[in-house]
Amino acid sequence: MTVAVIDNFLYGYLVVALVLLAERGLGGSDAVGPLNAGLSGGALAAMAVVNRLASHRRPALVLFAVMAVFAVAIALLGLSGSLPPAVVFVTVAGAATLIAEVIAVTLLQRAAPDDVVARVFGVYDQLNVGAIAVGSLIAGPLADRLGAGTAIVTVAVGCLAASSIATARMRGRQRPARHSVAVTASATSTPQGRRRH
C-alpha cells in the first residue's frame, strides 16, 4: 500500500507538472497535448505485459524495478529540454505507473486476510485519492520555488528513495499467491493422497 501511495503521489504530481513543463520550457501550451497523449499511450501499451509482470515469482522485485523506471523517467523528463525526448520519457512513465499500480494491488490482495479485504481496500482507495491530490497540489508551488524542471527531478528522486525503502522490506518475505495455496491444498486432499496417510 505504501508503494501504491508513492506511485499515485508521483502520478498526481506528474499530471500538473506536465503543464508547467510545457509552458515553461517545452514549447508552450501546444506541447501539453503530445505529452498527455504519451502518458495515456504508455499506460495502454503496458496492458500487453502487466499481467505477466504481476504474476512474476518475485513481484516485489519487479515492483521495485518498475518504480525505479517510473522515477528515472520522470527525472529525465525534468531534465529534457525539447519535446520529442520529453514525449518518450512521459510515455515510459505512463507505462510504469500503471504496471506499478497493478503489481501493488496484487501484492495487497495476497497479503490481506479474506475477512478484512474490503476494509483494506477502503483505506487503500482513500489513501491513493489523497496521494494524487497532494501531488497535484504541491506541483505548482514547488515549481514556482525551484523551477519546473528542478522540482520534478527533486520529487522523482525522493519518490525513488521512498519506494526503494518500501520494496526492500517486502523482498524475500512474500506470501505465495492464494491460487498456489489452493492448488497445494487440493493436491494433498486427493483420494490417493489420503490413502498414503
Q: Can you tell me the distance from the alpha carbon of 152 to that of 143, in angstroms, rounded to the nearest whole number?
A: 8
C-alpha cell at 38: 504519451
CA 9, chain centre distance (Å): 9
Q: Quick one: pLDDT band at residue 190, thresholds 50, 70, 90?
A: very low
Q: Please, how many CA atoms are within 13 Å of residue 33, restricted to the half-sphere of its CB? A: 2
Enclosing H/E stretch for 179: helix 178-188
CA 197, chain centre distance (Å): 47
C-alpha cell at 92: 515510459
Q: Can you tell me the distance from the alpha carbon of 193 to that of 188, in angstroms, rounded to the nearest whole number?
A: 6
Given a contact cutoff of 8 angstroms between Cβ atoms, the answer to whether 70 and 93 are in contact is: yes
Given a contact cutoff of 8 angstroms between Cβ atoms, the answer to whether 56 and 77 are in contact is: no
Over its C-alpha atoms, the chain yields an Rg (Å, rounded) of 20
Q: Quick one: pLDDT band at residue 195, thresholds 50, 70, 90?
A: very low
Mean pLDDT of the region 35-39: 89
C-alpha dihedral over 183, 186, 188, 189, to 10 degrees?
180
Given a contact cutoff of 8 angstroms between Cβ atoms, the answer to whether 100 and 7 are in contact is: yes
With a cut of 70, say whether residue 13 has pLDDT above it.
yes
So what's the pLDDT on residue 171? 58
All domains in the chain, ordered by first residue: 2-196 (1.20.1250.20)
Task: State pLDDT tens for residues 137-165.
Answer: 999 899 889 888 899 999 999 999 998 88
Task: State pLDDT tens for residues 97-117.
Answer: 999 888 888 877 776 667 676
What's the residue count for the chain? 197
C-alpha cell at 112: 490481506
Q: Can you tell me the distance from the alpha carbon of 102 to that of 166, in angstroms, rounded to the nearest whole number?
A: 16
So what's the pLDDT on residue 149? 85
Task: State pLDDT tens for residues 44-91.
Answer: 998 888 888 877 778 778 888 988 999 999 999 988 878 889 899 999
